[in-house]
Structure 1
Amino acid sequence: MIEVIKDKNEWRTLLSKVEHTDFYHTYDYHQLSKKEGELPILLKYTDGSTTIALPFLIRNIDNSDYKDITSVYGYSGLLSINIDDNFKIKNFHKSLNAFFNKNKIIAVFSRLHPFIEARETALEGLGKIVSLGKVVYIDLSKTLVDQRATYNRRLKTYLNKARKLCTVIEGHTDEHIQTFIQLYIKNMKRIGADESYLFNSEYFYKLLSSKDYESKLMLCKHNETQEIIAGAIFTKKGNIVQYHLSGINEDYFSLQPIKLIIDEMSIYSTKKGYQYLNLGGGKGSKEDSLYRFKSKFSKNYKVFKIWKYIVDRNAYKTLTENHLNTELEDHELDIGYFPAYRAPIKSISYMASLSELLIFSFN
């Protein structure tokens, strides 16, 4: 009852039957996101007229015969067709577990989508669904006047100043793309981002040229110098616009050009009839300076959740103990990083015991 879809056309066909999807669910984005040794798959479960789809990346676990499953960076989760209160959840769980066990998959992790009502209850009873934090969004169904009424007063001041000195344009040329890549990479290196965020040039070109979704590169040009001082890539699918990547020339921080780009994108998206412009949350889902920056645009937010499921607890425990080189009790397996056997050893600080382990990311 579980079908594994790897073919591009089959993947696209199934998603076309789902009422609401996002670019994070698409075949192309999964191909872009996969790392070496990872295989994008779309699990399809069918029961009568009901279909459930789960996009994943399946990967091998070093020094073992086991595998685990994760989701792409962003918001993935469960998609459904014709699911209702009569849906037999136990049958779905039974089929899913049979697939996991047959393929020696011992752990599952997925970032759930905060904007798509996908009957999250279908996953209840399989591991844990954990609320991590808030993601900020602009409600594009409101008029531009009503949207701006919720803008932070200081934000309005920055926007007025930036609009006098700068112009936002859409990036089309190869020069535009290359300029944005340089801004983005410099940004990531300046803040000490993980290497996984330092995408190669091919990533950006493929991201911007995919037919699975629409994308838009917005650039901010300084009127006096004609220099491109900031840029952002937005993706659009269904009724959702996602603020995906951005970069800024640090010499122009005081102008806050990213704010102007977001504001211009909200104008464009409202006129085009989209419902949400998702700005995302803070780093590690915290209400930090990044979150506060985004919340200046809107007080609307959705709760971001993740799904964690240990399929084979014995194998999970053994792999974790081998990885951390220590024996663990069952209650010590939840170290704040999932799955625990992939926790980056270099960032682990063994103060006095594992109870003092402080890791705040999920992979």
Structure 2
Amino acid sequence: MINVVTAKQDWYSILQEINNYDFYHTYDYHQLSKKEEEEPLLLVYREKNVLIALPLLIRTIANSAYCDATSVYGYGGPLVSGVSEDYDFSKFHMALNTYFDEKKIISVFSRLHPYFPMQEKVITNLGSIEDLGRVVNIDLTKTLEEQVQHYSNTTKRYLKKGLKNISIVVSNKKEDIDTFIALYNENMERVNAKKHYFFNDEYFLQFANSTEFTTEFTFAVLNETQKIISAAMIIKTNSKFVQYHLSGTLTDYLHLTPIRLLIDAARISGTNEGYTYFNLGGGLGSNNDSLYSFKSSFSDDFKQFKIWKYIVNHEKYNELVAQNPSLQEKETDTISFFPLYRFDV
């Protein structure tokens, strides 16, 4: 049987019981990430000492009595505890399908977490799992000196030069968060980022105020003028994960690549505080692009980023696909977008 958790304290208690999660799985992140029409849920399954928790966002489908489910932006997917290598997930699958049928949820999409390999076993035989690309990890269990050995010569050179002229400051003061927001927005406008990369001010403030994870607004300050030229949001969770979340650099200072110093500072603090992973993420849209090349200049420890696509009700899914005007006269087999009935030109 699936139990549905929506209250913050109950959600938090489940995560604490599992004791292996990232900020993407938390109640707070789901609340600040959800759109107006989305309802965050934590689906919980228990069997003896086994506990499985699946966080999702439930969405109604326009002009339909049906719903579907998706995940927050980032790295989500199921969490488990008490599961052996040979555990049979078939009872969980039956319970999950029963819940989906009862709630008229016809499809499920979820981004998976590259650092939880057990996730694939949890959902094997439920739809498909697809590789999207690799993300870059700095192994914080190594010594600081060992980590630097994996830096590219270019990164080492920029760090050596930058440390002479730039200082790193961490501050969650309101005025500094406002500075971060302005800098980040300028950066997104410069690169013509898509709409979903822009956030309202409350989004950043909720990050700063959350008690379920730690957000460090980290700034690169030019020593000569005390001007903030670059900034990053570093998220730390559960004494295990450090995440490089959002960042930006003023256009006039891009040639200094001060982001390298921000990442290096977060690596040092994360190591000293006993964290395990520092995930830098991958390229834009999971591509092996210039952003991915930049991140891989810090480490050659790569993890695979995957997504989960599951059609629960094929009949209704196909019916909705056929009704989508954006798909008229298109070869749907060539479109990877999921769920396909939500495809919009």
State the alpha-carbon separation in 2 of the partners of residues 163 and 143 from structure 1: 20
Q: How many angstroms does 1:325 deviate by?
A: 5.4
State the alpha-carbon separation in 2 of the partners of residues 58 and 259 from structure 1: 38
Per-residue CA shift, 1:59-102, capped at 9, x if unaligned? 01111111000000011111012112453322111111111111
Tell me, what secondary structure is at the counterpart of 2:204?
helix
Give the structure 2 partner of residue 237 of structure 1: 237
Please, which runs of 5 or more residues in structure 2 have no aligned partner? none
Per-residue CA shift, 1:88-121, capped at 9, x if unaligned? 3221111111111111101101111111243521
Give the structure 2 partner of residue 23 of structure 1: 23
Give the structure 1 partner of residue 283 of structure 2: 282
Per-residue CA shift, 1:27-68, capped at 9, x if unaligned? 000000000110000000111221110000000111111100
Per-residue CA shift, 1:278-314, capped at 9, x if unaligned? 0000011111100000000001110011110011111
Aligned ranges for residues 157-196 of structure 1 at < 5 Å? 157-196=157-196
Give the structure 2 partner of residue 308 of structure 1: 309
AA at the equivalent of 2:288: E
Q: Is the 8 A contact 2:112 2:119 kept in 1?
A: no
State the alpha-carbon separation in 2 of the partners of residues 316 and 228 from structure 1: 50
Is 1:58 equivalent to 2:54 in the alignment? no
Tell me, what secondary structure is at the counterpart of 2:18?
coil
AA at the equivalent of 2:313: D
State the alpha-carbon separation in 2 of the partners of residues 325 and 307 from structure 1: 24
AA at the equivalent of 2:317: Y
Give the structure 1 partner of residue 300 of structure 2: 299
Aligned ranges for residues 200-239 of structure 1 at < 5 Å? 200-238=200-238, 239=240
AA at the equivalent of 2:221: K
AA at the equivalent of 1:321: A
Q: How many angstroms does 1:152 deviate by?
A: 0.5
Give the structure 2 partner of residue 248 of structure 1: 249
AA at the equivalent of 2:2: I
Tell me, what secondary structure is at the counterpart of 2:225?
coil
Give the structure 1 partner of residue 5 of structure 2: 5
State the alpha-carbon separation in 2 of the partners of residues 99 and 177 from structure 1: 41
Q: Is the 8 A contact 1:333 1:340 kept in 2?
A: no
AA at the equivalent of 1:280: G
Per-residue CA shift, 1:230-282, capped at 9, x if unaligned? 10011111211000010111110011111110011111111111111100000
Q: How many angstroms does 1:19 deviate by?
A: 2.7
Give the structure 2 partner of residue 152 of structure 1: 152
Is 1:68 equivalent to 2:59 in the alignment? no
Is 1:339 equivalent to 2:339 in the alignment? yes
User: Percent of aligned positions with the same letter in both sequences?
Assistant: 47
Q: Is the 8 A contact 2:151 2:297 kept in 1?
A: yes
AA at the equivalent of 1:43: L
Per-residue CA shift, 1:120-144, capped at 9, x if unaligned? 2121111001111100010111111
AA at the equivalent of 1:45: Y
AA at the equivalent of 2:127: G
Q: How many angstroms does 1:221 deviate by?
A: 0.4
Q: Is the 8 A contact 2:77 2:119 kept in 1?
A: no
Per-residue CA shift, 1:343-363, capped at 9, x if unaligned? 222xxxxxxxxxxxxxxxxxx
Q: Is the 8 A contact 1:170 1:219 kept in 2?
A: yes
Q: Is the 8 A contact 2:242 2:277 kept in 1?
A: yes
State the alpha-carbon separation in 2 of the partners of residues 161 and 13 from structure 1: 46
State the alpha-carbon separation in 1 of the partners of residues 187 and 282 from structure 2: 18
Give the structure 2 partner of residue 113 of structure 1: 113
- TM-score when normalising by structure 1: 0.92
Give the structure 2 partner of residue 95 of structure 1: 95
Q: Is the 8 A contact 1:334 1:340 kept in 2?
A: no
Q: Is the 8 A contact 1:324 1:341 kept in 2?
A: no
Q: Is the 8 A contact 2:76 2:113 kept in 1?
A: yes
Is 1:320 equivalent to 2:295 in the alignment? no
AA at the equivalent of 1:221: V
AA at the equivalent of 1:141: T
Give the structure 1 partner of residue 265 of structure 2: 264
AA at the equivalent of 1:235: I
Cα RMSD between the aligned structures? 1.6
AA at the equivalent of 2:36: E
State the alpha-carbon separation in 2 of the partners of residues 87 and 277 from structure 1: 30
AA at the equivalent of 1:104: K
Tell me, what secondary structure is at the counterpart of 2:322?
helix
State the alpha-carbon separation in 2 of the partners of residues 86 and 294 from structure 1: 36
Cα 1:163–1:333 change in 2 (3 A) is same
Tell me, what secondary structure is at the counterpart of 2:28?
helix
